[in-house]
Structure 1
């Protein structure tokens, strides 16, 4: 699965997702039909995030603080390491719009206003 979205600047997103969340830049491109892009993820994961800049076009950021990617990290040691890595990279938690996400998690916001929740629970259907 690929989740793709537009941005105006790849650099701060690389820092957030690579340095903060620990993703790798698994692929990318420059000036491909007027687009630059970066794919962030891990070579062994079945999903990744793609961020693209379209030359000459402006995109607005997140329309609401409820635009979330939620990562469930049930192991408390793994979750703590993830939160510490985000904070060490200079990203402070933000107050979630929905207080549910602060019960067992921390919410962080990227440069475009999109949010990532690191949830210290297992997801159960």
Structure 2
């Protein structure tokens, strides 16, 4: 895969508007695109124009999604700068994410785990990603 290729992580939700607001405020993302009643689906694609990773949340009319299947469904963001890490963690809480103990204790050593309204989790990890 080329570096210029886009990775989009997509998942359904029963709380589309609330999730869009939470992830935009908590991660500093913006709505890059959205759609309504596209073959029965509403959705929003979030990210930053300068990045090649998108989060897409969708809602299918008349379909109930429910909560995350496990407590180990994670998005992990590496934020090595201490001040930026603290600021991002504060933004996650202000956006309505709930701080939780991680299912895998590894993430609690140098990070903080947050749960969204659907039970999916986001880790803000205070370290540099290292290629092994």
Verify same fold: TM over 0.5.
Answer: yes
Corresponding residue of 2:100? 94
- For residues 15-61 of structure 1, what are the alpha-carbon distances to aligned partners after superposition, in whole Å with 9 as ceiling and x for unaligned? 22011221111110000111000111111110100000011111122
In 2, the alpha carbon distance for the partners of 1:119 and 1:81 equals: 13
In the TM superposition, residue 87 of structure 1 has moved relative to its aligned partner by: 2.2
What pairs with 1:46-61 in structure 2 (closer than 5 Å)?
46-61=52-67
Task: Give the Cα separation in 1 of the matches to 2:113 and 2:76.
Answer: 9
2:112 corresponds in structure 1 to 106
Q: In 2 relative to 1, CA 9–92 (structure 1 residues): closer, same or farther, beyond 3 Å?
A: closer
Match of 2:122 among 112, 116, 120: 116
Partner Cα separation in structure 2 for residue 53 and residue 43 of structure 1: 23
State the partner residue of 1:34.
40
Structure 2 unaligned regions, length at least 5: 1-6
Q: How does 1:3-42 map to 2 (within 5 A)?
A: 3-42=9-48
- Over aligned residues, Cα RMSD in angstroms? 1.1
Q: TM-score, normalised by structure 1?
A: 0.94
Check the 8 A contact 2:26/2:93 in 1, yes or no. Answer: yes
Structure 1 runs of 4+ aligned residues shifted over 2 Å read: 87-92
Change beyond 3 A, Cα 1:92–1:5: closer
- Counterpart-to-counterpart distance in 1, 2:47 and 2:95: 17
Q: Deviation of residue 89 (structure 1)?
A: 2.8
81-90 vs 100-109, greater mean Cα deviation? 81-90
